[in-house]
Amino acid sequence: MHPLESLAALFEYPDETYVERCRSAGGHALADALEKLSVTESQELFVATFDWNPATSLDLGWHLYGEQYARGEFLVKMREEMRRYGVAETSELPDHITNVLRLVARMDPEAALKLVREHVAPAVAKLVAALDQKKTPFALLARAVRNTLPAKAPIPELKVELPVLVGD
């Protein structure tokens, strides 16, 4: 199995086999961090990490385009590429990291490199930055993806703007 496909499986909702799947995919540090938690606690951490904050969304198109119309075009392109390379559709959107990593793993190297350079690497870099800031063990997983991709983008520095409080 391609390393990106193994990593893709780790972005699926955790179950009782999750820690062992982490170890099998080479994610020993993530497994070590999560084995201290119950399955329910791992699931809660997964949801809190990826589902409640757009900055840590697993939909890579969100990191590139937000709510812009271009994201819809990207979703259409990803769906077409998934069909072309035989990646089965899931309940997730086509730009979900599980679908994208499986797609990159199946593409011919030249096409994969183009997709990664233009879309995947910049989105993953933003995800890494957000997960690092959140100080979650899942940052290890995002960094493993970044290190496995055939191209990398610089990890941006996130600037948190605090609200200005207006006094009387």
Residue 10 is encoded by which pair of tokens?
Answer: 């780790």
Which residues share a beta bridge with 96?
59
Give dist(CA 47, CA 43) in Å, integer: 6
Residue 161 has pLDDT above 70, yes or no: no
**pLDDT of 133-154, one tens digit each?**
989 999 999 999 999 999 989 8
**pLDDT of 2-21, one tens digit each?**
999 999 999 999 999 999 99
- The residues spanned by each domain of the chain are 3-148
Assign 105 to helix, strand or coil: helix
Helices (H), 10-136: 18-24, 28-34, 39-50, 60-65, 69-84, 97-106, 109-115, 121-134
CA dist 122 to 16, 19, 113, Å? 32, 28, 13
35 band by pLDDT with thresholds 50, 70 and 90: very high
Residue 162 has pLDDT above 50, yes or no: no
| pTM confidence score | 0.90
**pLDDT of 59-102, one tens digit each?**
999 999 998 999 999 999 999 999 999 999 999 999 999 999 99
Question: pLDDT at position 168, please?
Answer: 47
Give dist(CA 101, CA 104) in Å, integer: 5
Interior angle at CA 61, CA 87 and CA 65, nearest 5: 155
Kindly state the average pLDDT of the residues 147-167. Answer: 73
117 band by pLDDT with thresholds 50, 70 and 90: very high
Residues 6+ apart with CB under 8 A from 10: 18, 21, 22, 25, 27, 30, 141
Pick the CATH number of 3-148 from 3.40.50, 1.10.1660, 1.20.950, 1.10.3480: 1.10.3480
CA dist 60 to 5, 18, 78, 129, 159, Å? 16, 22, 11, 13, 20
